[in-house]
Amino acid sequence: MTLNGKGFYIWQIPRCDGGDPAAIAARARAADLSHVLIKIADGSNWPYNYDREADVDLVPPVRDALRAEGVQVWGWHYVRGNDPEGEASLAVRRMRELNLDGYVIDAEAEYRDRRKRSAAARFMRSLRAGLPDVPVALSTYRYPRVHAELPFAEFLQGCDYAMPQVYFEQARNPEQQLERSVEQYMSLRPARPVIPTAPAYSAGGWRPTADELQRFFQKAKDMGLTAANAWSWDFSTRPKFIDLWDAIAAFDWPAGPPIADMPERLIGRFNQHDPALVAGLYQENAAHVTGARTVLGRPAIQSWYQVLFTQLLPNAQFRLTGKTGVGNTRQFTWTATSDKGEVLDGNDTLGLRDGLIQYHYTYFTIR
């Protein structure tokens, strides 16, 4: 399930439009949201947005009202890593009970501990055993290189998306921070498609402006990202923050799938295993560069793909795992499984001219 367009996080349902499912759904519809992410669990033993005194789960009526408006509903879960199997068990139980469209792992300060790498791996094994077919995303810090202690690789191995929290607090440069975040996530192994989250709240006297949020979403769209989120509904619908909600609601990002960009087109043709079909995406005088050699011209590029599809990766299935790019440049990451091995680290750069590839630098290892 692909996310396209705008999403909003909900922390506490009662603080969002008075907890009224109809009002929440109406606001989502008016804002043209494609998805809403609701907190469903905290740690290993606390179902969230569950009224314990009344023994009432607050999520199902909101889920149903949103789905009636065509909005996907995802659940998110704050995890700490002290009881990873318990946290995974709670996640699986809540996701099965609620039958949600996707699940988000919120891993932050407690996981900034190298000793918890094994906990992250255990959590993901248990989670994926219980939810093998559910889309999963990781929501955490915006800059992996600043938070290297956090077990990004262990989490992302079992994820379909990365959802960095690009909270540009105390600053006024959303575009630059988003570019930096996406570049660092695209450099991770494994890389996953990035769906960033913007700040729609205040902190220490700082708050974003409506213009900054629109610039954030425009930059995400310009970079070729399929979607972006905001944190959070609870804050931005308060009277003194409503300009933040309105800015995101007014931003034009339809929920439907975007027109296929070159990385998607290229991977699609890879999976048809036809070298001539792939070469048709290149300019006649294009250059194709690997660590071993450079080939020039469409016929030579077609010959290279003939070797790739028949000798190096026969019967391969290719998968796009991340993409970014502005103007005539695209960077994308990919994986492949074949009869002779697999690729987990594909990392390519394209230069485009008149809608076709002018140069293509590719890096990958087969194991």
Considering the domain boundaries, does residue 183 fall inside one? yes
pLDDT tens-digit map of 119-177:
999 999 999 999 999 999 999 999 999 999 999 999 999 999 999 999 999 999 999 99
Does 257 fall in a domain? Answer: no
Same domain membership, residue 273 and residue 346? yes
Residue whose pair of structure tokens reads 């800059």 in the numeric block: 143
CB contact at 8 A, 150 and 109 = no
User: Rounded to an integer, what distance in angstroms lies between the CA atom of residue 296 and that of residue 319?
Assistant: 26
Neighbour tally for 176: CB within 10 Å: 12
Asked if residue 14 belongs to a domain, the reply is: yes
* pTM for the whole structure: 0.83
Residue 257's pLDDT band (boundaries 50, 70, 90)?
Answer: confident
Query: Is the pLDDT reported for residue 260 higher than 90?
Result: no
- Report the SS3 class of residue 246: helix
- What does DSSP assign to residue 141? B
Residue 190 domain flag: yes
Co-location of 229 and 132 in the same domain: yes
Q: In b/e form, how buried is each residue of 191-219, taking b as 16+ CB within 10 angstroms?
A: bbbbbbbbbbbeeeeebbebebbbbbbbb
Quote the DSSP letter at residue 194.
B
Q: Distance between CA atoms of 44 and 109, rounded to whole angstroms?
A: 16
| Strand residue runs (E) in the chain | 5-10, 35-42, 46-47, 50-51, 56-57, 72-79, 102-107, 136-139, 161-162, 197-199, 227-231, 282-289, 294-296, 317-324, 329-337, 342-353, 356-363
222: its two tokens: 């310009």
Structural domain count of the chain: 2
- Computed over its alpha carbons, how large is the radius of gyration of the chain? 22
Q: Which domain-ending residue is among 250, 280, 306?
A: 250
Structure tokens at 159: 């994820």
pLDDT at residue 1 is higher than 80: no
**CATH assignment at residue 155:** 3.20.20.80
Backbone angles phi, psi at 278, to 5 degrees: -65, -45
Range of the domain at 196: 5-250
For residue 241, the SS3 value is helix
Host H or E run for residue 321: strand 317-324
Domain boundary among 192, 217, 250: 250
Q: Is the same domain home to 82 and 110? A: yes
Instruction: Report pLDDT digits (tens) over 165-202.
Output: 999 999 999 999 999 999 999 999 889 999 999 999 99
